[in-house]
């Protein structure tokens, strides 16, 4: 508490007008990581001053996404809609000391001004008609900030260096609507001041808002926080990410079987680097993340790389840690199971061959079936009657095993192969079909071990029976 001044306080301020999308998620992650890395604090704030567009569903979707990503906050969530008194207070103060003024121009009039300005080759701006009228409040009036007419405002950006704007580029922007509600720039600044935010990391689409906000800080006599503008995330066509780019909501990736750590890893790596390292665990990210290696150019979202990274995260995680992630997908397939040794063993065999949890659940099905469902072609090709003997011998051998382990399993296989004069593949593939119903599965021994002695034996005998019946019908 002695040196609170040095504590980095970042924030993530989504507006609840939709689900949390990739770009927003990355901004959240950057702020969160920076706060964690710096041992600072991270604040969540919901920017719902636009009552028309904000929805409770969106608020819930944002929380859901944050939770899935594993981003926790130290303060909040604050809701701007509950802080109108605070904004009102600041707006009044600005009007009182002459930093802002009432404006009674109608939207139509302002539209015309913008047209005019555009025609004369400039930026569409409000022309300042009411600036010096010293109007009192009246119904329908908005409050405009009295922006400086000369000079320039400089952003000392921690990522991109200094960015200067001529103040003539700015117009007297509205800080309070005619219904008294605060506009974005005002609300953000007041919030960041009152919440002690001292480090703002956001998309570079906010660069042009920054001079306005800096001016507001100055008018309010407050210290300007540090800014760091990160490049945006673009769609495959290099345009701003939007609905037409397909899955944008981060939770859509949860539903497609992605691991949140992979998502975080991917998003961070899109714009930030640590030499050639591609794979990062959450803790590694907290340890290594900093602003020094954030790029300056926009990045294209590349789903294939996300997929590859997801596979890598699945491969590298402990089977046990994967259980809660996989469970919903198992349930969706009607598989009832519970955490434990058996499930861990199943996952262990599936890890290197699953790019998503959906794939993993697909691959896990045979382990849980009462009896495997034979793929017609596979059974016809590999469960030949002449294998009846060897398979039976194998089943008997396994049944007689005191210790059910890979070494003993191998010995039995060798014995069967030798007695039947068959190569390993000639035995293994039929066994695979007998046990899984398919020609593709995890390695034969690891799969047998994971399945468990009882199931292996009964499935083997079932196969023998099947083969004998097939023989009878021929």
Nearest to 171 by CA among 231, 220, 105, 123: 123
Taking the complex as a whole, the smallest distance from the CB of residue 6 to RNA amounts, in Å, to 24
Q: Least separation, in Å, of the C-beta of 310 and RNA?
A: 10
Q: Which is nearer to RNA, 5 or 276 (CB)?
A: 276
Q: How far apart are the first and last CA of the chain?
A: 85
Q: 3-class DSSP state for residue 157? A: strand
Taking only Cα atoms into account, the Rg of the chain, rounded to an integer number of angstroms, comes to 32
Beta-carbon count within 10 A of 409 CB = 21
- Strand (E) positions, 167-279? 174-176, 199-203, 226-230, 233-234
Helix 184-194 to helix 210-219 angle (10° resolution) is 60
d(CA 378, CA 430): 9
Residue of 243, 288, 355, 371 marked catalytic: 243
Task: Give the residue with the Cβ less far from RNA, 291 or 474.
Answer: 291
Q: Where are the beta strands (DSSP E) in 320-379?
A: none
Measured from the CB atom, the residue of 93 and 240 that comes closer to RNA is: 240
Q: Is 125 assigned a catalytic role?
A: no
Q: H helices within 50-161, ranges in order?
A: 56-69, 84-96, 107-119
Identity of the residue, 190 or 444, whose beta carbon is nearer to RNA in the bound complex: 444
Q: CA-CA distance, 26 to 163, in Å (whole number)?
A: 23
Nearer to RNA, 400 or 425 (CB): 425
Residue 313 CB burial class (10 angstroms; 0-12, 13-18, ≥19): buried
Least separation, in Å, of the C-beta of 10 and RNA? 16
CB 406 → RNA: shortest distance, Å?
9
| Shortest Å distance, C-beta 5 to RNA | 27
- Residues designated as active site: 243
């Amino acid at each position: 508490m002695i040196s609170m001044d040095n504590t980095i306080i970042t924030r993530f301020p989504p507006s609840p007008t939709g689900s949390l999308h990739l770009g927003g998620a990355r901004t959240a992650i950057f702020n969160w990581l920076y706060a964690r890395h710096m041992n600072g604090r991270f604040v969540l704030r919901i920017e719902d001053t636009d009552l028309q567009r904000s929805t409770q569903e969106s608020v819930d979707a944002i929380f859901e996404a944050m939770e899935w990503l594993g981003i926790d906050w130290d303060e909040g969530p604050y809701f701007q809609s509950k802080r109108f008194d605070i904004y009102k207070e600041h707006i009044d103060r600005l009007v009182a000391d002459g930093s802002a003024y009432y404006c009674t121009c109608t939207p139509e009039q302002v539209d015309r001004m913008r047209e005019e300005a555009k025609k004369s080759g400039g930026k569409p701006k409000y022309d300042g008609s009411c600036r010096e009228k010293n109007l009192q409040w009246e119904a329908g009036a908005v409050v405009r900030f009295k922006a400086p007419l000369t000079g320039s405002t400089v952003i000392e950006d921690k990522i991109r260096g200094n960015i200067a704007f001529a103040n003539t580029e700015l117009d007297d922007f509205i800080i309070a609507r005619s219904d008294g509600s605060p506009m974005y720039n005002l609300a953000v600044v007041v919030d960041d001041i009152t919440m002690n935010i001292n480090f703002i990391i956001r998309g570079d689409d906010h660069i042009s808002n920054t001079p306005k906000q800096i001016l507001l800080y100055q008018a309010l006599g407050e210290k300007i926080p540090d800014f760091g503008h990160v490049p945006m995330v673009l769609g495959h066509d290099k345009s701003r990410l939007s609905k037409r780019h397909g899955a944008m909501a981060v939770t859509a990736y949860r539903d497609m079987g992605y691991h949140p750590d992979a998502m975080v890893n991917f998003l961070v790596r899109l714009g930030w680097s640590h030499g050639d390292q591609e794979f990062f665990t959450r803790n590694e990210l907290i340890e290594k993340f900093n602003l020094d290696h954030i790029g300056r150019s926009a990045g294209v979202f590349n789903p294939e790389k996300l997929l590859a990274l997801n596979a890598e995260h699945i491969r590298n995680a402990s089977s046990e840690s994967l259980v809660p992630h996989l469970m919903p997908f198992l349930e969706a397939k009607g598989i009832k199971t519970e955490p434990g040794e058996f499930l861990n063993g199943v996952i262990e065999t599936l890890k290197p061959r699953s790019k998503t949890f959906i794939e993993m659940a697909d691959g896990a099905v045979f382990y849980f079936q009462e009896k495997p469902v034979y793929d017609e072609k596979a059974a016809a090709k590999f469960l030949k009657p002449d294998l009846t003997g060897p398979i039976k011998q194998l089943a008997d051998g396994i049944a007689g095993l005191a210790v059910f382990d890979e070494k003993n399993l191998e010995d039995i296989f060798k014995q069967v192969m030798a007695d039947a004069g068959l190569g390993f593949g000639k035995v293994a593939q039929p066994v695979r079909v007998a046990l899984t119903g398919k020609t593709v599965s995890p390695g034969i021994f690891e799969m047998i071990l994971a399945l468990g002695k009882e199931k292996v034996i009964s499935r083997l005998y079932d196969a023998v029976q099947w083969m004998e019946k097939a023989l009878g019908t021929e």
